[in-house]
């Protein structure tokens, strides 16, 4: 947590909201046994967001009806797109003029922050030597109706679970943030985008996701899922969390059928460093088999991965690094169907990513910075040329890397009122040479309780 101002209940709760970790409630009096204790926590934020740079390349490499080349090949001069705000002819690598067009983006919006707007309600009660908690959170965004980029179901009850904790550990049943790569999202929240915006995710109005912080650029989101989770007591600073979650269907692929619950784990270790710092280490992972629709189980393709990282705090200087590697993970979070997850024959692609972050706390100010990169590894199908394509290229050009530098300055006017200015320079490349470079500037405020 930011060391200045010292994190209170609101900041601790906000970090849990961001990662889907079980949220803390108020301490109960020792003699409290026969009555419920109710609490609420949440956050509201609004940001000005300006995106300026290259447009999005189009996926198809040629028009089969006209034999026109539609993509930009190995020139690295910008993005291509069918509906740009401004267009320019693109010259191919052989010096000939391409049918592709170079597009630019220059867009301003009003958006929510990294975590969206969240209000959460909870109730606690003693059960012998144990403590029982019921928790429910609702998430929304501030998008205008005509510019809505996150078509959520209203109300969006993001979390809802029952938790029982005692000397034996903690048991959670319901919907919460899953364990795989939870540590990376928590790090992004604590050291970079907890009071900011980061990557806007979609520049227009018709997409499925809100703002994303550093997710997609070296950080893989843990997402939310229904499941059962057991956490051991913390012994010598070490705790093991294991969970069984509802499987995620890779809708749109030929392997969207699932059978079994998805196992995940997270092992964490905390070590205080004298009176001036601490070390936090995490290692997590998950596994899920996927089967073909309406066919026997003879074909099974496994989605799996591990995440790892550490945070080191030495007085006002906070350092963090980590990464992930696996199969079928994509850019955003495991289980999200996309062209980055599987090829045209539904073969899962390998994915890896890494990030580094630094935070300097100066009184009520914090200065944050980070870099991250995610790489999608092509399959043999991706690299096979289409004989109908006059260029001999494959039919599609697939995104291969996403990398970004990020920075933020945060002013904590109060422990419940925060002002942020954050920037991101993103550089995305496709396997046939297309490239998109774009800058994001965000400024706004967040209210927490």
pLDDT in tens, 85-126: 444 455 554 555 555 556 678 888 888 899 889 999 999 999
Check: pTM over 0.95? Answer yes or no.
Answer: no
Closest by CA to 305, choosing from 248, 258, 383, is 248
Q: How far is CA 299 from the centre of its chain?
A: 30
Q: Are 74 and 90 within 8 A, CB to CB?
A: no
The whole-number pLDDT of residue 9 equals: 40
More confident residue, 253 or 137: 137
Q: What is the mean pLDDT of residues 148-168?
A: 79
Q: What are the pLDDT digits (tens) for 195-237?
A: 999 998 766 543 455 688 999 999 999 989 999 999 999 999 9
Confidence of residue 81 (pLDDT cuts 50, 70, 90): very low
Closest CA to 41 of 181, 137, 145: 137
Rounded Cα distance between 350 and 341, Å, is 8
Q: Which residue has the higher pLDDT, 429 or 188?
A: 188
Residue 316, pLDDT score: 96
pLDDT (average), residues 423-447: 91
Distance CA 139, CA 147 (A): 18
- Alpha carbon of 233 to those of 78, 237, 297: distances in Å? 52, 9, 39
In this model, does residue 259 exceed pLDDT 80?
yes
Residue-level pLDDT at 145: 54
Place of tokens 């050291």: 191
Q: What pLDDT was estimated at residue 433?
A: 74
Inform me whether the pLDDT recorded for 146 exceeds 50: yes
Mean pLDDT of 29-45: 80
Which of the pair, 313 or 29, is modelled with greater confidence? 313
Residue 34's pLDDT is 67
Residues 264, 208, 259: CA angle, nearest 5 degrees: 35
What is the distance between the alpha carbons of residues 58 and 434, in angstroms, rounded to a whole number?
Answer: 9
Listed by start position, the domains of the chain span: 9-448
- Bridge-based pairing state of the strands 350-362 and 317-327: antiparallel
Buried b (16+ CB within 10 A) or exposed e, 199-236: bbbbbeeeeebbbbbbbbbbbbbbbbbebebebeeeee
Preceding peptide of 33 cis, ω within 30°? no
Question: What token pair was written down for 82?
Answer: 């069918």
First-to-last CA distance in the chain? 15
User: In this predicted structure, what is the pLDDT of residue 391?
Assistant: 66
Determine the pLDDT at residue 301.
93
Which of 163, 166, 168 has the alpha carbon at shortest distance from 132? 163
Say what the pLDDT of residue 274 is.
85
Listed range (3-12, 92-101, 323-332, 366-375) with the worst mean pLDDT: 3-12
Q: Which two tokens stand for residue 8?
A: 């209170």
Query: Is pLDDT above 90 for 152?
Result: no
How much is the average pLDDT of 364-377? Answer: 97
Instruction: Report the C-alpha gap between 88 and 101 in whole angstroms.
Output: 5
Q: Taking a C-beta distance cutoff of 8 angstroms, is the pair 215, 199 a contact?
A: yes
Q: Are 165 and 130 in contact (CB under 8 A)?
A: yes
pLDDT higher than 60, residue 359: yes
* 238 class by beta-carbon count within 10 Å (0-12 exposed, 13-18 middle, 19+ buried): middle
Q: Which of 65-79, 270-284, 434-448 has the lowest mean pLDDT?
A: 65-79
Which of 68-72, 260-264, 318-322, 385-389 is predicted least confidently?
68-72
Q: Which CATH architecture has domain 9-448?
A: Beta Barrel (2.40)
3-state secondary structure of 14: helix
Write out the two tokens for 36. Answer: 């419920």
Per-residue pLDDT at 423 exceeds 50: yes
Q: Which of 234, 303, 233 has its CA nearest to residue 262?
A: 303
Contact 113, 47 (CB under 8 A): yes
DSSP annotation of 153: P
Query: DSSP assignment, residue 341?
Result: T
Average pLDDT taken over every residue of the chain: 83
pLDDT: which is higher, 86 or 282: 282
Whether residue 49 is predicted with pLDDT greater than 80 in this model: the reply is yes
Q: What is the mean pLDDT of residues 20-29?
A: 52
Rg (CA), the chain: 23
Separation of alpha carbons 99 and 61, rounded Å: 11
Cα 27 from chain centroid? 31
* 25 φ/ψ sector (left φ>0, alpha ψ -120 to 50, else beta): beta
pLDDT (0 to 100) of residue 75: 40
Here the tokens at position 139 are 């998430």
The pLDDT value given to residue 80: 46
């Amino acid at each position: 947590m930011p060391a200045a101002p010292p994190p209170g209940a609101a900041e601790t709760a906000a970090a849990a909201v961001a990662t889907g970790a079980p949220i803390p409630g108020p301490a109960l009096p020792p003699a409290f046994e026969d009555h419920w204790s109710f609490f609420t926590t949440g956050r509201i934020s609004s940001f000005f967001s300006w995106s300026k740079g290259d447009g999005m390349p189009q996926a198809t490499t040629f028009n089969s009806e006209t034999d026109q080349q539609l993509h930009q090949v190995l020139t690295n001069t910008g993005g291509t797109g069918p509906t740009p705000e401004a267009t320019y002819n693109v010259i191919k690598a052989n010096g000939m003029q391409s049918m592709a067009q170079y597009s630019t983006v220059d867009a301003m919006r009003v958006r929510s922050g990294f975590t969206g707007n969240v209000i959460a309600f909870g109730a606690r009660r003693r059960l012998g030597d144990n403590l029982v908690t019921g928790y429910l959170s609702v998430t929304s965004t501030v998008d205008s109706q005509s510019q809505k980029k996150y078509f959520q179901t209203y109300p969006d009850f993001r979390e809802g679970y029952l938790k029982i904790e005692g000397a034996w550990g903690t048991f959670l049943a319901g919907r919460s943030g899953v364990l795989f790569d939870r540590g990376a999202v928590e790090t992004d929240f604590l050291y970079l985008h907890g009071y900011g915006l980061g990557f806007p995710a979609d520049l227009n109005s018709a997409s499925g996701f809100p703002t994303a912080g550093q997710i997609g650029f070296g950080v893989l989101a843990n997402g939310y899922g229904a499941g059962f989770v057991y956490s051991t007591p913390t012994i010598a600073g070490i705790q093991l969390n294991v969970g069984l979650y509802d499987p995620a269907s890779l809708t749109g692929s030929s392997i969207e059928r699932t059978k079994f619950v998805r196992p995940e784990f997270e092992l964490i270790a905390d070590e205080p460093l004298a009176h001036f710092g601490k070390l936090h280490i995490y290692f997590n992972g998950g596994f899920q088999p996927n089967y073909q629709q309406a066919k026997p189980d003879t074909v099974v393709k496994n989605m799996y991965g591990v995440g790892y990282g550490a945070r080191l705090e030495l007085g006002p200087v906070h350092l963090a690094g980590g990464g992930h590697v696996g199969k079928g993970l994509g850019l955003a979070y495991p289980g999200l169907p996309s062209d980055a997850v599987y090829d045209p024959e539904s073969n899962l692609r390998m994915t890896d990513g890494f990030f580094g972050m630094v935070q300097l706390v100066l009184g009520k100010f914090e200065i944050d910075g980070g870099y991250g990169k995610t790489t999608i590894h092509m399959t043999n199908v991706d690299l096979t040329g289409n004989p109908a394509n006059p260029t001999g290229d494959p039919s599609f050009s697939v995104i291969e890397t996403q990398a970004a530098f990020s920075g933020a300055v945060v002013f904590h006017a109060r422990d419940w009122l925060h002002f942020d200015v954050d920037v991101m320079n993103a550089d995305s490349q496709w396997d046939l040479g297309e490239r998109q470079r774009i800058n994001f500037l965000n400024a706004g405020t967040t209210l927490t309780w």
